Amino acid sequence: MVGDGDRQELRRRQEAVLATRRREYDEDDVRVRPGKSSRPRTRTRPRHADAVDGFVIAVDRGRYTCVLSEAAPDAPVVTAMRARELGRKSVVVGDRVGLVGDTSGAAGALARIVRIAERRSVLRRTADDDETTAEGRLERVVVANADQLVIVSALADPPPRTGFIDRCLVAAYDADIEPLLCLTKADLAGPDQVVGYYAELELPYVLIRPDSDLDALRSLLAGRVSVMVGHSGVGKSTLVNRLVPDAARAVGTVSAIGRGRHTSTSAVALPLPAAPGVAPGAVAGWIVDTPGVRSFGLAHVSAESLLHGFPDLVEATVDCPPNCPHTPDEADCALDSWVAAGKADPRRLASYRRLLASRSGEGDAREPERNPGDPLAGS
């Protein structure tokens, strides 16, 4: 039998064994998950007072090619990336930006865009006219801060397409950009029909022949940021190469920096050489060369603003009933009587109504260039 003394001795031995295994714990052994700080998160962002001003001339897959505002015309271009603090703000060709970091333009150097100046104008287009479609909702900014939209159209081969010109005019007026009609291949056909079609608009135009000296066009481009748009085959690239003799080299330089797609698939700003008598190397203006486009969707333009692209029809709408849709089936629409009285070209009304129909999904935005029955379009 085990007596009380033996039990006590056994208990003391067990306690001694447990004591050797026992560990003293303190606050360092306890993992405490940090709570939310009572200090409010600041929204203050760096001022970047040392940022230098730049001008975006090309965009390629997250890399932005810029020139410094105060740099010499022959200075190397600067490659930059967008700073995280800009959030989802897009950077496009023509933007005036603030740059920090390595702005030397040396090989491998990379700056950061930390600021985007307020845009004076924004030229947009969509792939479709109907904003309810995926293509209509996909809005593309062609260029920012442009002063002038140069619509390049051939007088022959291919024939002029007034439907496309009308669309460009609507986009220009909506963006508050002055339009300029540039008619190429004037040696193959006369401009009377096209000029007459836009007579009521007093649309400025310039004729281009293969042997033209381009002085008239250069004077209209001087000191401005001009966007050139046009279909493939109208001679836009040839015209750009004549205006900017180093265009091929400049475009190649931008491509090498971005290491992306060929720049014919995206807009690129090219410096116009100064006129004779001006300091060598000075920049007389900028041409933003855009790739050839098949359509110029206007889903971003409201139905009310669409009429602003047809100023020769605006006065007639004063006699229209309230909320007039201006469609052919509206009996009280004053546009028909306005045209019947010879105050506007019927082809202009047809073009306007065709755009209205396209906005409602009844037309095809990929085929806007030819107005039905328009002899200028060759149809």
Which residue did the predictor score with more confidence, 284 or 173?
173
pLDDT single digits (tens) 10-32 = 777 777 666 655 555 555 555 66
326 is in an annotated binding site: yes
185 is in an annotated binding site: yes
The domain locations on the chain are 52-116, 122-289, 303-360
Share above pLDDT 90 across residues of the chain, in percent, rounded to a whole number:
45
Which residue did the predictor score with more confidence, 4 or 169?
169
Amino acid at 8: Q
Smallest CA-to-CA distance from 51 within 70, 37, 24 is with 70
pLDDT at 262 over 70: no
Range scoring the smallest mean pLDDT among 3-7, 59-63, 83-87: 3-7
pLDDT for the residue 367: 43
pLDDT for the residue 265: 52
pLDDT at 144 over 90: yes
Residue 61 gets the label, from left (phi > 0), alpha (psi -120 to 50) or beta, of left
On average, the pLDDT of the chain sits at: 81
77 is in an annotated binding site: no
pLDDT single digits (tens) 209-257 = 998 889 999 999 999 999 999 888 888 888 998 999 877 645 545 544 4
Beta pairing partners, 41: none
pLDDT for the residue 326: 92
Q: Global pTM?
A: 0.77
168 is in an annotated binding site: no
Classify domain 52-116 at the CATH class level.
mainly beta
Give dist(CA 86, CA 63) in Å, integer.
Answer: 15
3-state SS class at 342: coil
Q: Is the peptide bond before 158 cis (omega within 30 degrees of 0)?
A: yes
DSSP at 196: H
pLDDT at 377 over 60: no
52-116 and 303-360: same fold? no
324 is in an annotated binding site: yes
DSSP at 86: G
238 is in an annotated binding site: yes
When pLDDT is cut at 50, 70 and 90, the band that residue 201 belongs to is: confident
187 is in an annotated binding site: yes
pLDDT for the residue 75: 84
> CB burial class (10 A; 0-12, 13-18, 19+) of residue 186?
middle
Per the CB < 8 A criterion, the answer to whether 126 and 300 are in contact is yes
pLDDT for the residue 379: 29
Average pLDDT for residues 324-332, to the nearest whole number?
90
320 is in an annotated binding site: yes
237 is in an annotated binding site: yes
Based on its alpha-carbon atoms, the radius of gyration of the chain, rounded to whole angstroms, reads 33
Give dist(CA 171, CA 194) in Å, integer.
Answer: 19
pLDDT for the residue 165: 93
232 is in an annotated binding site: yes
What's the number of CA atoms in the CB half-sphere (13 Å) around residue 157?
Answer: 6
pLDDT at 361 over 70: no
What CATH topology corresponds to 122-289?
Rossmann fold (3.40.50)
When pLDDT is cut at 50, 70 and 90, the band that residue 264 belongs to is: very low
234 is in an annotated binding site: yes
Give the architecture-level CATH label for domain 303-360.
Answer: Orthogonal Bundle (1.10)
